[in-house]
Homo-oligomer: A and B are copies of this chain.
Amino acid sequence: MNQQAKTSAQELLASLYPSSLMVVGASADPGKRGYQAVQALVTEGFQGRIYPVNPRLEQLLGLTCYPEIAAVPGAPELALVCTPAASLPEVLDACGRKGVKTAVVLASGFAEVGAAGQALQNLSLAVARNWGLRLIGPNTSGVFNMHAAMNLVGYRDLRPGPLGILSQSGNMALSLVTEGTLQLHSGFSSYIGVGNASDLAFHDYLDYFLLDQGTGALAAYIEGLDAGQAFLQAARQFTASKPLVVYKSGRSASGQKAAKSHTGALAGNYQVARGVMRQAGVVLVNQPDYLLPVAEALATQPLVKGGRVAVLADGGGHATIAADALDSLGLPLAQLSAASQKALAACLPATASLTNPIDVAGATDTDPEVFARCAEILLADPGVDQLLLVGLFGGYALRFDPQLLIAERQTALQLADLARASGKPLLVHSLYALYKPEPLALLVEEGFPVFSSIEVAVAAVQALTDYSAYRFREATDDYLTGEGEASRRALKILDGARFEGRSALLEPEAKQLLKAFEVQLPEELWLRSREDLQQLDAAWLTQPLAMKLVSQDILHKSDAGGVELNLLGLEDLDAAWQRIELSAAKYAADAKLQGCLLVPMASNQATEVILGVTRDSQYGPLLMFGLGGIFVEVLEDVVFRALPLSRADAWDMLAGIRSAKVLEGVRGQPPVDKSALVELMLKVSALVTAHPEIAEMDLNPVRCYREGYKVLDARVLLNTQRATSSSALEKLELLPELVH
């Protein structure tokens, strides 16, 4: 992160490990937050000084109360503000004057209730800014930091541990914390309720959790992001060293912007969020119930070489369900070595299944330690990346014989030792997890996740696999940037069109733009008038051609009858030209016709894909990739990434569409030259990143061959407001050229 972000995060860190804090609006009413917070601080052993502020109280829970903020001794790093909305500007002013660094503002009644609230929020923020005071909230459900024994939320029975929580909904945070308290989990580090995010926002909090040594992984509930690009940047930095698990809600929101381009229209909120978050190394879960257990697995287990899972089960049912769940996520069952199978055979009965999933066939019912012997074999197998134990473990004493408890405890410790020594993850499912029996509690204490659902355990396997792959690939990943000469040529074309007040490039211009970045295009000829047909040489007259109208006023050529295919010879071409002119005139009488493009008919022995660029209000410039035709228009099988795009991102996009196997060549088509397509994507990324003048772009279709590709059509829309090019200096140099 940059220096400013780092300073800001360090300040927040200091505020959330405060040596002293103020509770403004402390209360003697047990139903009030101003009481609950003080009570939690006192009873849970907060080590710093606590200053309750309330003009009508002298003492609260054994603490001295202060009549006003100014009366508090020293300069507490943190203030919890429990007073009503209207008081906020005054309270913040007093806090700022006092030297408070961060205020946690609980009151609601701000931007979320309309214009008057928004004005109050703005005023409050201005006051805070004046003092350099940072705000969490307003309208936050609160904050806790269990590693500082500082619980300002009033949630009960919290244990400290590695799991951070960041949530845009207080109730969702409550759900997570309740789940973490009732079930076997390894405990929490900090929680921050984002609230209205008038000042500090998601990306600031990511920076905090990144610096916080008490946090091993972060679980975040996100409804919407105002500063999407800042979030992505912070997320990239975060995931480079810690796992970030996100549940993104608001997925059903639809029909947002009425974009002019194809790509824009397809940029549905969730699909975009999914793409750009994956790109930033975020693990997305599809259900909120998965947030905590998946984060816990990532917080506690090592990175993995791959997703080859060994399943160790004490019965066929759970083994089968685990295999199904792995299969449905595309995770491979590990192939065990012959040596492993032989070793398993030696410690299991004849009825056991020795191929993965391993079913011990009752061998553990009387001797749970058989699990440890099997686990040792499986973890030592070089073909096994992760070990998943499913079934009844932890419940043998409950189910079969109380005396088995000793052996189960012993086995739990052995399993933990074996897994640690192997450097491979161990994930344990047990149908007894909700009973929280001692052997399972031991496993959690030793740093291994325990799951009550096989599906969730398997989602954790996938998360470990994906996140590890991301971490390993980040090390070697690279980008393409627009180098000087290419950008200079591109800018000339862009500025030419903008100088004429146009909001779109002509097709030949769009193609020239791409050519500047060495994109492969079909040979083509732009004839300005029908008479130019007479000048065509033999090469153009003896092969089948396509003819396409060029007009700055007609964006959708096909709709205007502006495309003719399979034309051979002068007579054909001339007739086509006339038809196009007639159709265009009928379609838009005032349209300025600027001739036609001639292009040799391209081979059909190809797979068509679409690349599109749009600028998203949240996440900035995005690249969309999809297959042509019905795949995009009917199946909406597209994938998005934020720009700039790395080479690994591009490969990930190709693999990310549901119909990815079409790229391998189906129904007689040759396979697509993926390397070439990846290079094209990187060139588009470089072009668009260097030129913010480009608002939207469709390369549709791009015909992909066994070797190489051809961009058959290109549409480029321009920003109508005057944007600053990243190469602003060059633009100034070039402008005179265009003007003269």
Contacts and interface: CB of A to CB of B under 8 A. Distances in A.
B392 A454 contact: no
Contacts of A659: 634-635
Given A630-B667, A666-B634, A252 B327 contact: yes
Scoring A170, A316, A661 by chain B CB atoms within 10 A of each residue's CB, the highest score goes to A316
A662 to B, nearest CB: 6
A267 B81 CA distance: 64
Contacts of A399: 174
Nearest to A248: B324
Given A249-B320, A327-B252, A432 B178 contact: yes
B249 A321 contact: yes
Given A630-B666, A666-B630, A315 B250 contact: no
Scoring A250, A324, A395, A662 by chain B CB atoms within 10 A of each residue's CB, the highest score goes to A324
A112 interface: yes
Contacts of A662: 630, 634
Scoring A113, A431, A658 by chain B CB atoms within 10 A of each residue's CB, the highest score goes to A431
Contacts of A288: 321, 454
Interface string A134-162: 00000000000000000000000000000
Nearest to A403: B31
Contacts of A651: none
A251 B324 contact: yes
A223 B319 CA distance: 11
A198 to B, nearest CB: 17
A670 B633 CA distance: 16
Nearest to A324: B251
B221 A317 contact: yes
A252 B634 contact: no
Interface string A316-355: 1110110110111000000000000000000000110000
Contacts of A108: 351
Contacts of A167: 317
Contacts of A321: 172, 249, 288
Contacts of A221: 317
A103 to B, nearest CB: 22
A351 B392 contact: no
Contacts of A316: 169, 171, 223
Given A182-B435, A324-B251, A635-B659, A317 B170 contact: yes
Tell me the number of copies of this protein: 2
Contacts of A455: 287, 289
A24 to B, nearest CB: 21
B327 A251 contact: yes
A391 interface: yes
A432 B288 CA distance: 15
Contacts of A392: 171, 174
Contact of A453 (B178, B287, B314, B633): B287
Contact of A661 (B170, B175, B454, B634): B634
A650 to B, nearest CB: 22
Interface in A630-688: 630, 633-635, 658-659, 661-662, 666-667
Nearest to A156: B398
A183 to B, nearest CB: 8
Contacts of A251: 324, 327-328
A226 interface: no
A65 to B, nearest CB: 23
Contact of A315 (B171, B401, B629): B171
A434 interface: yes
A124 interface: no
Interface in A247-278: 249-252
Contacts of A178: 395, 431-432, 434-435
A-B residue pairs, 8 tightest by C-beta: A169-B317, A252-B327, A171-B315, A172-B317, A175-B431, A249-B320, A171-B317, A251-B324
Given A223-B320, A249-B317, A630-B667, 13 more contacts: A31-B400, A108-B351, A113-B351, A169-B320, A171-B318, A178-B434, A182-B434, A223-B317, A249-B324, A251-B324, A251-B328, A252-B328, A629-B667
